[in-house]
């Protein structure tokens, strides 16, 4: 078997593939896209970091390809959809850079407190200027961590060792988890208002983009210090520059940027109280060796018929089982992401119940698909079928699986329920319909509905009164939004009704506001499956 190592990984990883696994290894670092297309014609596996792009054209040119391994977390350079269509496993190494990134973050925090880079530059310029480089102590200061996942948790440990008070904002973090790691769980506004230092450790999603913007800086203390070693775009760079110039922000440390590489003319390069590094989060010898060896071992497992680990596009099962499970995995993932979007941000438990034929399949794999679907918009690209249960545990969410023998109206049914700490439950029911086993949503929050489990949904709870369908249809039509199909449900006449509208395009913000402002609308959620 032949493995193409397209980007430079740890020599130990290459040695493992060549000597221990016995593969033919082609090292082709820095190859052009045209050269890559030529090299992949007879390879079974490709190992990359972030440089080489594995596009749809690459998959089309590689008929033998079984697996693409990314030595690192992000898979932005791999067309995962094209890989899935061709049955190619895409894997990453989500935990290999945890310590490296946490330590770099804390290095930036220390450099913001004590201007060591600036003082070092002054010394090398032949100066002896002690007055210009006075610093502050971390001891008894407050560090605010936005996002308390793997890396955020490691940063919290280091801050506590320095005698810092640690606040954390993570809307999905259960209070019990915060208490266990001895941090104070607070609202985002409270974190902004109380923190002397702020660091972000969230994935870049629609919800987190520009989370730290002009309005956020207005809420912060004068002299706050802020850091980003997570993803560019969480902190709005123009707002940060303005805050630095105005003296609102005393210092900043950035390892990631909205556009990379950072433009030579970027104003960030000119500000004396900013320490910049060129995306070095995982750039330690230990981290690179770890992810290089890890991805080599994972590739060998796949090619030799072993366990699929850290797959971002399929669970740890063989091809034959996947053919049977595929529709259930698709349905489960969509039910998970639907429930996450209709439930509050913080939940205490996630329960999955299987009825009929659905209880006879590999429910472990389907449950992981549900959990991954639920976490997809929370944890971003690092979530996969392997680490989804661990991520739920870290958020303090209790997971439960039940196989029911009770009668059901459906030959197979999956129900996903998220419960908040106060006992409120938010749920979605799904089944497979027809010869092609098409996934359908047949219940939301205890109401019977029926709608195709795909695309974009507008989920509405409204007063059961005449004209509501027309009102919503007219409003969406005015907004240029086409309705694909619609399902209506009510418990009793004149009470409240549910309306689930599948649309071709996302309603505008103005249209959503108009819907929510209608006094007859009790709840309105836009859901993307």
CATH of the domain at 459: 3.30.70.260
Residues 137 and 157 in one domain: yes
231 is known as an active-site residue: yes
pLDDT of residue 75: 86
Question: What's the CA gap between 283 and 277, in Å, rounded?
Answer: 11
Q: What is the pLDDT of residue 382?
A: 64
260 is a catalytic site residue: yes
Residues 37 and 62 in one domain: yes
Cβ-based burial of 378 (10 A; exposed 0-12, middle 13-18, buried ≥19)? buried
Q: Where are the alpha helices (DSSP H) in 114-213?
A: 116-124, 150-161, 175-180, 188-194
Residue of 108, 158, 231, 377 with catalytic role: 231
Distance spanning both ends of the chain, measured CA to CA: 38
Residue with tokens 């010898």: 285
Total count of domains within the chain:
4
Angle at 10 (CA atoms; ends 4, 297), nearest 5 degrees? 65
Helices (H), 130-174: 150-161
Q: Give the phi and the psi of residue 177 in degrees, each rounded to 5.
A: -70, -45
Q: Which residue has the tokens 């995306």?
A: 279
133 and 12 share one domain: no
How does the average pLDDT of the chain come out, rounded? 92
How many separate helices (H) and strands (E) can be counted in the chain? 17, 22
Same domain, 78 and 191: no
Q: Verify whether residue 452 is a known catalytic residue.
A: no
CATH of the domain at 383: 3.30.1330.90
- Same domain (yes/no): 228, 299: no
Find the catalytic residue in 114, 279, 357, 490: 279
Among candidate residues 38, 51, 260, 400, the one labeled active-site is 260
The pLDDT, as a whole number, for residue 63 is: 94
Query: Which of the residues in the chain have pLDDT under 50?
Result: none
Sign, CA torsion 91/389/396/290: negative
Query: What pLDDT score does 381 carry?
Result: 62
Q: How far is CA 193 from CA 145, 160, 197, in A?
A: 13, 20, 11
User: Do 251 and 108 share a domain, yes or no?
Assistant: yes
Do 362 and 434 have their domain in common? Answer: yes
* Domain residue limits at 199: 98-276
Same domain for 331 and 440? yes
Dihedral sign computed on CA atoms, order 275, 277, 282, 286 = negative
Judgement on whether residues 289 and 267 belong to the same structural domain of the protein: no
Residue-wise pLDDT for 34-72, tens only, equals: 999 999 999 999 999 989 999 999 999 999 999 999 998
Residues 157 and 238 in one domain: yes
Say yes or no: 353 and 406 in one domain. yes
Q: Kindly report the CATH number assigned to the domain that includes residue 50.
A: 3.40.50.720
Same domain assignment for residues 89 and 107: no
Omega prior to 37 cis, within 30 of 0: no
Which of 469, 482, 484, 456 lies closest to 515, judged by CA? 469
């Amino acid at each position: 078997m032949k493995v193409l190592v397209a980007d430079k990984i740890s020599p130990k990883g290459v040695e493992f593939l060549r000597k221990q696994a016995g593969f033919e290894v082609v090292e082709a670092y820095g190859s052009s896209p045209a050269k890559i297309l030529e090299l992949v014609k007879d390879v079974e596996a490709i190992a990359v970091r972030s440089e080489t792009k594995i596009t749809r054209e690459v998959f089309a040119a590689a008929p033998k390809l079984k697996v693409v391994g990314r030595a690192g977390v992000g898979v932005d350079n791999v067309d995962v959809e094209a890989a899935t269509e061709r049955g190619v496993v895409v894997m990453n190494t989500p935990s290999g850079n945890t310590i490296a990134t946490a330590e770099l973050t804390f290095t930036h925090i220390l450099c913001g407190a004590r201007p060591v880079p600036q003082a070092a530059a002054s010394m090398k310029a032949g100066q002896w200027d002690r007055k210009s480089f006075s610093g502050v102590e971390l001891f008894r200061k407050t560090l605010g961590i936005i996002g308390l996942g793997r890396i955020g948790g490691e940063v919290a440990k280091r801050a506590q060792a320095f005698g810092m008070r640690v606040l954390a904002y993570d809307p999905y973090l259960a209070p019990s988890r915060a208490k266990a790691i001895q941090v104070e769980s607070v609202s985002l506004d409270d974190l902004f208002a109380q923190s002397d230092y702020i660091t972000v450790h969230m994935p870049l999603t629609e919800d987190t983009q520009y989370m730290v913007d002009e309005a956020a800086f207005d809420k912060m203390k004068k002299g706050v210090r802020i850091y980003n070693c997570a993803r560019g775009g969480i902190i709005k760079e123009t707002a940060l520059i303005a805050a630095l110039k105005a003296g609102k922000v005393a210092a900043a440390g950035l390892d990631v940027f909205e556009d990379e590489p950072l433009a030579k003319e970027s104003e960030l390069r000119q500000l004396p109280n900013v320490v910049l590094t060129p995306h070095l989060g995982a750039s330690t010898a230990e981290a690179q060796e770890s992810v290089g060896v890890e991805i080599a071992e994972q590739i060998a497992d796949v090619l030799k018929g072993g366990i699929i680990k850290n797959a971002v596009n399929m669970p740890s099962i063989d091809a034959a089982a996947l053919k049977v499970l595929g529709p259930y995995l698709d349905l489960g993932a969509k039910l998970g992401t639907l429930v996450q979007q209709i439930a509050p941000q913080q939940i205490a438990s996630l329960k999955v119940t299987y009825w009929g034929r659905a209880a006879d399949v590999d429910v472990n794999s389907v449950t992981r698909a549900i959990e991954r679907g639920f976490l997809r918009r929370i944890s971003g690209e690092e979530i996969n079928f392997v680490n989804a249960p661990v991520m739920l545990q870290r958020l303090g969410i209790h997971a439960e699986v039940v196989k029911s023998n009770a009668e059901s109206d459906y030959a197979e049914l999956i129900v996903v329920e998220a419960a908040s700490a106060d006992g409120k439950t938010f749920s979605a029911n799904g089944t497979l319909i027809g010869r092609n086993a098409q996934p359908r949503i047949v219940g939301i929050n205890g109401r019977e509905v029926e709608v195709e489990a795909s695309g974009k949904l507008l989920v509405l709870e409204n007063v059961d009164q005449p004209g509501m369908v027309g009102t919503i249809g007219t409003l969406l039509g005015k907004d240029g939004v086409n309705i694909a199909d619609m399902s209506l449900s009510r418990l009793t006449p004149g009470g409240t009704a549910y309306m689930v509208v599948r649309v071709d395009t996302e309603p505008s913000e103005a249209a959503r506001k108009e819907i929510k402002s209608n006094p007859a609308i009790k709840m309105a959620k836009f859901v993307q499956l």
